[in-house]
Chains A and B, each alone.
Chain A
Amino acid sequence: MTDRGSRIALPARAPASARRTPVQRFALLLSRTWAWLFLALMVLFFVASVPLASGGAVNFLTIRNSQNILVAIIPVLLLGLGQTFVIIAAGIDLSVGWVMSLGSVLSALALRWAFNGGAPLFPAVLIGLIAGVGGAAAVGFINGAIIAKLKVPAFIVTLGTSFIVRGVAYLMSENTTVIGLPADIRAYGNDALFYYIHGEGGGLYFLHRPEVSGDLLRRMDTILPYPVLAAACVVAYAMFLLGKTQFGRHTYAIGGSMEAAVRTGIPVDRHIIKLYVLSASSAGIAGFLSTLRFTAGSAVIGDPLLLSSIAAVIIGGVSLFGGAGTVIGTVIGALIIAVLTTGLVMLNVEAFWQFIVVGTVVIVAVLIDQSRDLITGGDRGGPAA
């Protein structure tokens, strides 16, 4: 038996959870789970409204549409995943958009070079992957080294490299789409684990794209395309890395208190370099996948995605001050953006409204995040703490 009477029971400054009122507890729960709820409500809204708007001709929650959404979020998600790590460590990577472009161009060039040089298809694709991700990682290393060793703010360094990489990507692609890739790589970027043909003469096919045309082709859905599986693997790895490993713990620690991280002997400089290599590499993977998907390398593919990826990260609950956030949050954030844009298109809302809605969601997300502090009365280790 421990003698509880003689213990030092230090009084907590913030009210203990037991002393919160039911209303406070509910508000706290809501603020933590709102992204899931919002996603669910949004899906319900589109499920109800899309058939209404189309007179029953179109449904929102079909196999085809769900797969379209999954394919659509891949680049935003991959850019956002690396960004999640960087922002949790209180950094920012503005270069990922153009790094993705560089990854696309490099992988296309390398793949074409290898294939034209006589390499079989699979090794050629592998060479494309190595070139795309390797080139991107090199940019990440430069970003990280300048930020960690020369102490230049991440915002400025990655802004600078973003311009540099943009120039390099255009130069390497000679300001045009990199074409002439073997047509068969289309399978890598578009084929799927399952195919399902609805109705008469149809069925479920596994790992094998049925050779059909006309009406049957129109009734065929692809389920779990390879790029979606690849992205799922990256998501799983990111969740493991951030949530289960020392690397993840140190990422949170650096974002929570750089000073504490340094003083407790965490190799902070090396860790920061690794973070930017990670961020650039996942952008490189995004570029590589887009090359497979479009059978072409493009220097313009990544740029428009940068801000969407940061929006996904923010909606997912990553604090821009560092120290807080999850991988699954970013996945939800990316899903919210994709469901919103797809749903609005299906409602025939003019495309520009997408931007207005996404922007509003970003701001609301941050407001909800801040309101949590009002509820708990705690600080979150931000600059105001």
Chain B
Amino acid sequence: MTRPLLSVRNMTKRFGGLVAVDNVSWDVNPGEVVGLLGDNGAGKSTLIKCISGVYHAEEGEIFFAGERVRLAHPIDARRIGIETIYQDLALANNLDVGANIFLGREVKKRYLGGLIQTLDNKAMLRESRQTLDALKIQFPTLTQPIETLSGGQRQAVAIARAVYWDAKLMIMDEPTNNLGVPEQKKVLELIRRLRDQGVPVILITHILPDVFAATDRLIVMHRGRKVAEKVTAETNTEELVQYMVGARDDANAGVDAPPG
């Protein structure tokens, strides 16, 4: 078995008396898309926020690339290559594609020994184009404000930004929400392409067709607990629904192999 890129061990997160995540263990391996399923309030968002450094879990350990990591802040997670794309995408709609990909990390030209620094828009545009090309994403224009782009295109910009900044694991929160059907397909295609380029993806969703279209493996959560872990090809909609509503529960739904 390959060594998992991300390994979560016995994670528990409480909010007061509520146990939002209850002793959950799971792995994400290189080159796979893992679906994280569950109804609203199942704990999937909380689990993800613990991995992306937004929340700190009281119990449990996170291993990334074989090493134990402590994620006190979202920046800690991003620094080691865990990129989370939330539904609002964190894009500035008034800026163009290049500006968004390099937002906060702009490329600058230096004059007079760094005394005067200007934006190197050409370099940023060139790098953006390369990244988009590598992901086989095509835009009519890269120099218009992205408010003129569709939801799917903006999603692609957010993904390209994460890829450019060397994401090693991509977490995507309901990426097909608010998209038209053709665009949903494109985004799912992009997710599979990311996987093929070696970036594993955690896909948070409660839309079952998305799960079957894009994931290799999946985890189902119910009331904070992991109730199932399945290979996507070996399950079906009916079974998943039963897990999601709590009608089925693999009591020993653990991960077989420890990390390393």
Contact = CB atoms under 8 A, between A and B. Distances in A.
Contacts of B90: 257, 259-260, 263-264
Interface size on B, as a range, is 35 or more
Interface in A225-281: 240, 244-246, 248-250, 252-253, 255-257, 259-261, 263-266
Given A12-B153, A13-B151, A381-B147, A246 B138 contact: no
A4 B137 CA distance: 10
Contact of A261 (B74, B103, B108, B190): B103
A265 B138 contact: no
A265 B74 CA distance: 10
A246 B108 CA distance: 8
A57 interface: no
Nearest to B136: A7
B122 interface: no
Given A13-B149, A261-B103, A249 B94 contact: no
Contacts of B105: 264-265
B4 to A, nearest CB: 27
Interface size on A, as a range, is 35 or more
B93 A257 contact: yes
Interface string A188-223: 000000000000000000000000000000000000
B140 interface: yes
B189 interface: yes
A258 to B, nearest CB: 9
Given A7-B137, A259-B90, A323-B92, A245 B190 contact: no
A12 B117 contact: no
B136 A10 contact: no
A356 interface: no
Nearest to A324: B94
A378 B138 CA distance: 20
A253 B103 CA distance: 8
B16 interface: no
B236 interface: no
A326 B118 CA distance: 17
Contacts of B147: 378-381, 385
B186 A8 contact: yes
B148 A12 contact: yes
Contacts of B92: 252-253, 256-257, 260-261, 323, 381
Contacts of A264: 90, 103-105
A117 interface: no
B88 A259 contact: yes
Given A10-B138, A323-B94, 13 more contacts: A8-B189, A11-B182, A11-B183, A245-B118, A246-B108, A248-B119, A252-B94, A252-B95, A259-B90, A260-B103, A263-B74, A265-B75, A381-B93
Interface of B: 74-75, 88-95, 99-100, 103-106, 108, 117-119, 133, 135-140, 147-153, 156, 182-183, 186, 189-190
8 contacts: A8-B190, A11-B152, A249-B95, A250-B104, A260-B89, A263-B90, A266-B103, A385-B147
Interface of A: 2, 4, 6-14, 16, 240, 244-246, 248-250, 252-253, 255-257, 259-261, 263-266, 323-324, 376, 378-381, 385
